[in-house]
Amino acid sequence: MPTDPYAFTPGYYDLFRAKDGDRALPSVAFFADLTPPGAAALEIGPGTGRITLAVAERAASVVCLERSTTMRAVLVAKLAERPDLWDRVTVLPGSAPSFELGRAFGYVYLAGVLEHVPPADRPVLFAAIAAHLEPGGVCAMDMVMRQPALDMPERVVDEAVLGECRYTLAAAARALGPDLSELRMTYRTYHQGELVGTEVVERRHNMHRPEPVLKDLADAGLHPVEGDGLAQASHDPADPGAVVVRKAAS
């Protein structure tokens, strides 16, 4: 059983994004705004539920498929504080690329998840998504990018202060191929300037390129909602690489 890269990181994950507010990626507003009003939604890899809660406010229901026990626990803890959403959000252990829920949804989305999916698994993942979309249903994802595979010496990429503690996240990456990197993420805690805690996560990071992604989506019967779907696939490292597709109406 591979180690869960999110086993101890959910608190840091939310803290760094909360510090960035509306600019934080994946964008809560982007995925929430795509929710067809009153739709049944399926989220793959909801993590701590940043986007789940916003989608649940617009959707009839949200089913979440999350492979990390820790992320699921944090999402359930957040839901505990939102009794108004209890009858709308279902949190299931589950893992893409292949899943079978025996029902269809009007909206399927995955935010910040593709980096965990090897490109070779895309056809299976997209076929599973298509099988779970109603005719006319929408699917949104991000992380479809043109940037080279990550390769960089360690540098601090995030930082936040809570009380007397300062938390930093330093990332280092080694490219193993054109679309694959080994990532080393080091979380450090400083108390009044002194280093008091160090936690390290190592994992793989996959790159997904626009043209082959759109081809795999088309093979699954999913086509861009607007134009050729490449409009947002820029070389800008800040570009979240969003792709929005639809299943044919009949």
183 vs 223, which CB is nearer to ligand SAM?
A: 183
CA pair distance 66, 237, nearest whole angstrom: 27
120 vs 249, which CB is nearer to ligand SAM?
A: 120
List the beta strands (DSSP E) in 178-216: 180-191, 194-206
CA pair distance 156, 20, nearest whole angstrom: 15
Rounded least distance, CB 179 to ligand SAM, Å = 16
Rounded least distance, CB 162 to ligand SAM, Å = 19
Pairing of strands 165-177, 40-44: unpaired
Over the Cα atoms of the chain, what is R_g?
Answer: 18
Rounded least distance, CB 64 to ligand SAM, Å = 9
98 vs 136, which CB is nearer to ligand SAM?
A: 98
Rounded least distance, CB 208 to ligand SAM, Å = 13
The answer to whether residue 68 forms part of the interface with ligand SAM (CB under 6 A) is yes
247: which residues sit within 8 A by CB, 6+ positions away?
130, 133, 134, 135, 136, 137, 139, 221, 222
Rounded least distance, CB 194 to ligand SAM, Å = 30
Please give the helix or strand (H or E) that residue 63 lies within, else none. Answer: strand 61-66
The answer to whether residue 67 forms part of the interface with ligand SAM (CB under 6 A) is yes
Instruction: Find the binding residues for ligand SAM in span 83-102 (CB under 6 A).
Output: 95-96
**Count of residues that bind ligand SAM according to CB under 6 A:** 20
26 vs 241, which CB is nearer to ligand SAM?
A: 26
Instruction: Find the binding residues for ligand SAM in span 24-53 (CB under 6 A).
Output: 26, 44-47, 50-51
CA pair distance 193, 70, nearest whole angstrom: 29
Rounded least distance, CB 198 to ligand SAM, Å = 21
Q: Which residue has the tokens 């080994």?
A: 182
Instruction: Find the binding residues for ligand SAM in span 183-202 (CB under 6 A).
Output: none
Q: Identify whether the C-beta of residue 66 lies closer than 8 Å to the C-beta of residue 94.
A: yes
Q: Identify whether the C-beta of residue 27 lies closer than 8 Å to the C-beta of residue 7.
A: no
Binding site for ligand SAM (CB under 6 A): 6, 26, 44-47, 50-51, 65-68, 71, 95-96, 111-113, 116-117
